[in-house]
Chain A
Amino acid sequence: QVQLQESGPGLVQPSGTLSLTCALSGGSISSDSWWSWVRQPPGKGLEWIGEIYPSGTTHYSPSFRSRVTMSIDKSKHQFSLKMTSVTAADTAIFYCARNPCSGGSCFSAFESWGQGILVTVSS
């Protein structure tokens, strides 16, 4: 059973850069899966941020495209998110999630989720 665990600073300064990592256990980051980041502001709904494939191919939501970068480190079985120019509106729980694929087709759904990490943007 794949397990995901987010890590990173819980407090980021306004106008700074948010950096998070998602570590995988119980499976391979190089497996046929897309790895996503989803966030949830306090008391609000889920927002898809972007995804990365083991090849390094990425897709981002238009809402975040200008200030988000995702990367993958196969040797450490983890993938990462960087979000620049953060404001208080970026305060949220950030989740990493897996969309598994098989035989050329993907679930196109988020089968496994990390526990989430609360990131607060404040001085």
Chain B
Amino acid sequence: QSALTQPASVSGSPGQSITISCTGTSSDVGNYNFVSWYQQHPGKVPKFIIYEDTKRPSGVSNRFSGSKSGNTASLTISGLQAEDEADYYCCSYAGSVTPYVFGTGTKVTVL
């Protein structure tokens, strides 16, 4: 079971929108509607921001949105703000025997 593939880094200017991709396989991302996304600021605990591909937990800004097409899930951050500078990880359910696999992580830089 290999880690899901994410770009190492993505950057954007304040106010812009950026999209982070998360590519898996037909055994994980493409087979279940259970991709989640986590935001992690340096030295901090990961924070849960998207679940079931597209749903936002209460309290998470609507500037964060999730989508999926085939074996690739995506996280879009619109109206980029300085506070969005962090590492982002996707995670997919991959079946009952070995349920979870994380992505490689993406560092978002606000220019």
Contacts and interface: CB of A to CB of B under 8 A. Distances in A.
Contacts of B52: 107-109
A111 B93 CA distance: 14
Interface stretch (A24-32, A55-63, A82-90): A55-63
Nearest to B87: A45
Interface residues of A, number: 23
**Chain A interface secondary structure, helix, strand, loop or mixed?**
loop
B97 interface: yes
A51 B1 CA distance: 16
Contacts of B104: 45
Contact of B34 (A62, A109, A111, A115): A109
Given A109-B52, A111-B48, A61 B98 contact: yes
Contact of B46 (A62, A95, A107, A108): A95
Interface string A39-82: 00000011110010000000111110000000000000000000
B47 to A, nearest CB: 8
A62 B45 contact: no
26 contacts: A34-B99, A36-B100, A45-B3, A46-B38, A46-B91, A46-B102, A46-B105, A48-B99, A48-B100, A51-B99, A59-B96, A59-B97, A60-B98, A61-B98, A62-B1, A108-B32, A108-B34, A108-B36, A108-B52, A108-B93, A109-B36, A109-B51, A110-B48, A111-B48, A111-B51, A114-B45
Given A109-B34, A113-B47, 17 more contacts: A46-B89, A48-B91, A48-B99, A48-B101, A51-B99, A59-B96, A59-B97, A60-B98, A61-B100, A108-B36, A108-B51, A109-B52, A110-B48, A110-B91, A111-B48, A113-B48, A115-B45
